Structure 1
Amino acid sequence: MPIDLRRQGVGGAAALLGVPDLRDRVAWEALDRDTVDDVLTAAEVDRAQPWPQTLLSDYARYWRDGVRVAYEGPAGELRRRTSTAVLAAAMTGEHVDEAADGLLLLCEQTTWCWAAHESFAAARGEVVADPDDPYVDLGAAETVQVLAWADLVLGSALDERVPGLRRRLRREARIRVFEPFLGNREWHWLGLDGRLHNWSPWIQGHILSAALLLESDPDTQFLLVESAVDGLSRYLDAMPADGGCDEGYAYWWNGPARLVEALELLDRITGGALDPWKCEPLAELAQYPRRMALGDGWYVNVGDGPARPNPQQPWHVLHRWGRRVGDPGVTAFAAAHRGQPQSPEVGLGRALIGLFDREWWTAAAEPLDLPRSTWLPDTELLVARDAPAGLALAVKGGHNDENHNHNDVGSFIAAVDSAPVLVDLGQPTYTAISFSPRRYQQWVMQSAWHNVPLIDGHEQSPGAAERAGGLQPQEDQLALTLPGGVVRRTASLDRDARAIRVTDEWQDGHQIVEHFILAGTPQRHRPGGLVVRSLSGVLVALSWDDELGPGTLERRAVDDELLEAVWGPDVHRLVIDASGRTSFELTVSRFEETL
């Protein structure tokens, strides 16, 4: 993606972004009224509360007891409240001091880096970040983008009400982000080792916008933009051709979607000269959310992703993406979610760009139209749906060294009326062990808590060597060999029988114990069958050879807030010992009888 931005001219970048400052009252007063009311109501509630504080004792808890949220919670709330105040000030022309207070509080923080990422302090054996040696992480990137976009829309008012604050914003951006970004080319998120993940576009996209809006020296601005563009190009080149995302749907919004937002900024400031929309595989990546949707807010979730994520996503980003690549299915899918509230939590820049996207606000909302079947050959993921029967099946291949990996090769999800019944539990609350060598001590990461068998007493292990083999995809079916080469699994959606079937086959002499993770409430359990009332309220029947007996149904309390918000207070594991056989088949269908 080579482009000489000095030749194209970025001096007037702010004017090309399509976001006016608060002096343009006509533009601000023409915004969607419901959205404005939501922002102003939130700002009024905020003003009645004290500002969030970020405390050293909370920061130190990461090292003391592994807790991240004690600090990241108030730090995120400070960014959110400041962003809300900025929007409210721009929308009304009032309460500029409130926004200025938030901006200065952000500038006064010792660090913008989250404790979990502060490896510089950890290397010193300390729990206090050094302002002279800042670490550029997601927290720093999220904070600098608040400063940048606030400066764009409130600049004139800040000069009038609090002269000197804008100079302070630029100083903090330069010291905390710009200088370390240019001065250290060993940041892991640059992906120079070939391992790229959502940090790369997430951080570099924010650095790009901050450089365009806060850096006044043309040569420094050029170096910042050039370096960010190089990193974004590297991430784009690493994207699979099938448009898949091994980090899953939730992280798609902070990986591929962040990339596209950065490309859009570049496209705007170069007056369309960049025209990145024909780059591979942008058109395929745009289809990922629609391909993963199960309906009613449920999604196919792999790795660290919730099955029912926060619906307050920046759907306008996807809508513009669909318009740029000319995909009406993508734009229709995005427009179907326009009724969701748009919160500043998604980012101040995202919120501002979305507010002034007039095509988004005038697009006709359409009902969800989900693909009948999707096979992603690079990511090795099959999703098949039978809309009349309300059935959906997702089957995962891949390997156990993926980004945000769980040990889950060959696992599957079975949903009825949108809600998964045989589930992937997804992401628990992050702690100090989440990305440490102890990661797989967490029960939700282990293959024993995924829909895969225990083979000869062994669970799956982490690592790229643990991978699916012999994949044979069809429209509604995927056959693959599980790690170790013992079990051949075939998972299919039988449209004629209106059922999902999962068959495991192996040579005689192996001990195979099947594990199935269930959401909902068990209703009837007997040899060869289990009836579950799903989270969507329908009765679902699981059936197997009754000679194997009822199996064992284990209840496990859900001891994590993120997981409980999705699955409720408990989940169940059905364990069926199929040792002594050479095959096992499970059938999932609606329960049509009377209990």
Structure 2
Amino acid sequence: MKNKKHILIILLLFLTVNTFAYTEKNLLVKKADMESLKSMLIMNQKWVPYPKYNDRKGWDNLLGDSKADLIKDGEKYLNYEWQVVKATDYLEFERSGNRNIMESPYNNNNKATVALLMAELAEGKGRFIDQLINGVYQSCEMTSWALSAHLTAQHSKRILPDYTEQIIDLGSGNLSAVLAWTYYYFNNEFDKVDPAISKRLYRELKDRTLDPYMNEDRFWWMAFNLKPGGMVNNWNPWCNFNVLQTCMLLENDKDKLAKAVYRTMQSVDKFINYTHSDGGCEEGPSYWGHAAGKMYDYLQLLSNITDGQVSIFNEPIIRNMGEYISRSYVGDGWVVNFADASAKGGGDQQLIYRYGKAVNSTEMMQFAAYLEKQKPSKFKADIDIFRAFQTLLYRHELSSQKPVHITPDYTWYPETEFCYIKDKAGLFLATKGGYNNESHNHNDIGTFSLYINNMPVIIDAGVGTYTRQTFSSERYSIWTMQSNYHNLPIINGVPQAFGSQYKAKNIAFNPKSSTFSVDISKAYPETAQVKQWIRSYKLKNGTLVIDDIFDLSEATQNNQINFLTWGDINIDILGEVTISTNGQKAVLEYDKNNFTPAIETITLDDSRLSNVWGEKIYRVSLNAKNAVKKGKYSFVIKKK
């Protein structure tokens, strides 16, 4: 009976793979139509769970020991010189691809605004009001709040802001939310100085955010014009979350508010529809906080303004999306980092706790407590004011949770096609299928990472600092994006190709034998002349066995099997590659009669990579001695 159960599991897994179809779940709009939503809305900002500005006792209680630090941080900006984002700062993105030249002064101003806002809420004496007004006016005088890297959404397709149109992107959304909270808390105080201040701020928020959102369908992240095979990523919940805050804090006409809230529900449904029911985040753990995490923030706001009547926290997909962050955490700060994710992280423990509480996930709440124990958090407000306020509300609850990180021996995402397997010897295998047009895609179908006692041994490098090239037609000229620099074969001298048509097929996962296999032949273009290439991974008792069974139409070049690694590498003994990384040792065994080893040293001159791996990593290439049409390669990685 037990064997039959496993056979059934495998059959079901076969039937669910390679399902990249967009599924019309529409969980939000099924909860309420426009008319019923009107009756649910809590009007006039009575949904806000934080103290009023003049409630000094309320703020003292909420801030606790953070009050003095917030005031001290705000004092640093009492004489701050507000920075001008120059026209040439924007143009630099077109000229060199550098986005930081524009973003640095912009972010510095936003940081000052947040610090002054929080300091005034903490102290309540009006000492920070004038400088906060300066920050408000500085923002209002900008032509656009959008980032230079995103201004190609303008009709002109150029980078210099066009005063005739407003773009809602991640940057403008973040600033809109900050300024909406500023308006909510200080419009009366501003009026004491001059009513023109609040009037101007309200108009700018309406013109830059509320009106474009209600009147435009063309922003790609809204997904209202989504085409078959189209992508919906973290931009959708992130931007909708910021728009919803702005609406909830400014709009007091019930009909208008209902239309706006319902429109965000329709849009966020597109993101949930796009996400597979298994909850996997194809963008990787680094983006979880911006994808599932922002969706959670959005859902919390929606629940707040409808008094819990529009809530989907009990839906399995929402819980699965949350628990992905726990399952993808290997240990000691290392995570599974497919796509553009970094190999280091773990997530915001306060956010993970709140999300876990909302979906009733003990795993997430205990994982949050585990992260807190490893590295205690200190409250600090940033551009995401809502998260800062929510952290203040819930941060003391975290201490009541048991700080443990317990996950199953395997986690299988049959639709997203990620597979994590652990063994009792301390090995953790992460591998994937998928397709080569995922959000933040790398050409990496069939790749894997291997960890020993939480330490990465066979690695995924991640991604370097974002430039113009990163999200352009030049993306795959960057080495980190190429299958050549993932743990994959180069077949007949040809790497994997970019595009939705390049995908995994015939995926199988057997939990009983801890085996994952995938045919990666369709990830390569026709020039690779590959009919079949089945890669399988089997993890057991401190050993990973990798088999490549292949069938080529022609064998024009010798195949090359690549492994990315770091630490101390030695290939002097034929048939073995020894790897020593931060106290963990492994040996990669190969057939010395079939392969010649070579090492390429990759110098990391990008801080986003070197901060994770150090000055260099290595590509170990096992070069086949013969070009053959059919065959089987076997590799064994053992813990030493």
Bigger Cα displacement from structure 2, 467-476 vs 160-169: 160-169
Shift of 1:200: 1.0
Give 1:590's aligned residue: 639
Give 1:236's aligned residue: 272
Shift of 1:294: 0.9
Matches of 1:420 and 1:64 in 2, distance apart?
A: 38
Matches of 1:569 and 1:358 in 2, distance apart?
A: 37
- Determine if contact 1:28/1:90 at 8 Å carries over to the other structure: yes
Matches of 2:50 and 2:163 in 1, distance apart?
A: 32
Matches of 1:79 and 1:153 in 2, distance apart?
A: 17
Closer, same or farther: CA 499–131 of 1 in aligned 2, 3 Å: same
- Determine if contact 1:382/1:478 at 8 Å carries over to the other structure: yes
1:423-502 alignment, distance < 5 Å: 423-475=459-511, 476-484=514-522, 485-494=531-540, 496=541, 498-502=542-546
Deviations 1:207-239, CA, capped at 9 Å, x for gaps: 011001022443332322221111112222222
1:79-478 alignment, distance < 5 Å: 79-94=110-125, 95-119=128-152, 121=154, 123-124=155-156, 126-160=158-192, 163-192=195-224, 193-194=226-227, 195=230, 196-309=232-345, 313-338=347-372, 339-345=376-382, 347-357=384-394, 360-364=397-401, 366-386=403-423, 388-475=424-511, 476-478=514-516
Q: Secondary structure at the match of 1:246?
A: coil
Matches of 2:570 and 2:192 in 1, distance apart?
A: 67
Paired-residue identity, %: 27
Shift of 1:528: 1.8
Bigger Cα displacement from structure 2, 297-306 vs 403-412: 297-306
TM-score by length of 1: 0.92
AA at the equivalent of 2:635: L
Q: Secondary structure at the match of 1:173?
A: helix
AA at the equivalent of 1:357: Y
AA at the equivalent of 2:116: A
Q: Secondary structure at the match of 1:118?
A: helix
Matches of 2:219 and 2:159 in 1, distance apart?
A: 20
Matches of 1:274 and 1:134 in 2, distance apart?
A: 30
- Determine if contact 2:610/2:616 at 8 Å carries over to the other structure: yes
1:529 to 2:576 alignment: yes
Shift of 1:395: 0.5
- Determine if contact 2:330/2:454 at 8 Å carries over to the other structure: yes
Matches of 2:254 and 2:326 in 1, distance apart?
A: 41
1:17 to 2:48 alignment: yes
Deviations 1:466-496, CA, capped at 9 Å, x for gaps: 11111110223211111344321111221x2
Q: Secondary structure at the match of 2:619?
A: strand
Q: Secondary structure at the match of 2:290?
A: coil
Matches of 2:38 and 2:203 in 1, distance apart?
A: 23
Deviations 1:108-157, CA, capped at 9 Å, x for gaps: 22211112221255x53754212331111111111101112233344444
Matches of 1:568 and 1:17 in 2, distance apart?
A: 45
Corresponding residue pairs, total: 583
* Structure 1: gaps spanning 5 or more residues: none
Closer, same or farther: CA 198–126 of 1 in aligned 2, 3 Å: closer
Matches of 1:321 and 1:296 in 2, distance apart?
A: 22
- Determine if contact 1:524/1:532 at 8 Å carries over to the other structure: no
Matches of 2:468 and 2:187 in 1, distance apart?
A: 39
Q: Secondary structure at the match of 1:30?
A: helix
Give 1:572's aligned residue: 618
Matches of 1:501 and 1:45 in 2, distance apart?
A: 57
Closer, same or farther: CA 358–554 of 1 in aligned 2, 3 Å: closer
* Structure 2: gaps spanning 5 or more residues: 1-27, 523-530
AA at the equivalent of 1:526: I
Shift of 1:550: 5.6
Shift of 1:362: 4.5
Give 2:567's aligned residue: 520
Matches of 2:180 and 2:583 in 1, distance apart?
A: 47
Matches of 1:360 and 1:51 in 2, distance apart?
A: 38
Deviations 1:248-269, CA, capped at 9 Å, x for gaps: 1112211122112111111111
1:544 to 2:590 alignment: yes
Bigger Cα displacement from structure 2, 448-457 vs 319-328: 319-328
Deviations 1:314-365, CA, capped at 9 Å, x for gaps: 4333222222222211111122233234443361111112212266355335
- Determine if contact 1:314/1:342 at 8 Å carries over to the other structure: no
Matches of 1:362 and 1:37 in 2, distance apart?
A: 22
Bigger Cα displacement from structure 2, 479-488 vs 38-47: 38-47
Matches of 2:306 and 2:389 in 1, distance apart?
A: 19
- Determine if contact 2:560/2:623 at 8 Å carries over to the other structure: yes
Matches of 1:590 and 1:550 in 2, distance apart?
A: 22
Closer, same or farther: CA 125–256 of 1 in aligned 2, 3 Å: closer
Q: 2:61 aligns with which of 3, 12, 30?
A: 30
- Determine if contact 1:100/1:162 at 8 Å carries over to the other structure: no
Shift of 1:289: 0.2
AA at the equivalent of 2:109: L
Closer, same or farther: CA 278–364 of 1 in aligned 2, 3 Å: closer
Closer, same or farther: CA 474–334 of 1 in aligned 2, 3 Å: same
Matches of 1:579 and 1:314 in 2, distance apart?
A: 48
Give 1:54's aligned residue: 85
Matches of 2:536 and 2:545 in 1, distance apart?
A: 8
Q: Secondary structure at the match of 1:308?
A: coil
- Determine if contact 2:601/2:618 at 8 Å carries over to the other structure: yes
Matches of 1:579 and 1:242 in 2, distance apart?
A: 42
Q: 2:548 aligns with which of 504, 524, 527?
A: 504
- Determine if contact 1:21/1:155 at 8 Å carries over to the other structure: no
Matches of 2:242 and 2:53 in 1, distance apart?
A: 22
Matches of 1:572 and 1:136 in 2, distance apart?
A: 41
Shift of 1:529: 1.9
Bigger Cα displacement from structure 2, 199-208 vs 95-104: 95-104
Matches of 1:544 and 1:165 in 2, distance apart?
A: 71
Shift of 1:416: 2.0
Matches of 1:112 and 1:32 in 2, distance apart?
A: 30
AA at the equivalent of 1:480: V
In the TM superposition, structure 1's runs of 4+ consecutive aligned residues that sit over 6 Å from their partners are none
AA at the equivalent of 1:15: K
- Determine if contact 2:285/2:337 at 8 Å carries over to the other structure: yes
Matches of 1:391 and 1:340 in 2, distance apart?
A: 29
- Determine if contact 2:353/2:398 at 8 Å carries over to the other structure: no
Q: Secondary structure at the match of 1:262?
A: helix
Q: Secondary structure at the match of 2:569?
A: strand
- Determine if contact 2:422/2:428 at 8 Å carries over to the other structure: yes
Matches of 1:241 and 1:24 in 2, distance apart?
A: 44
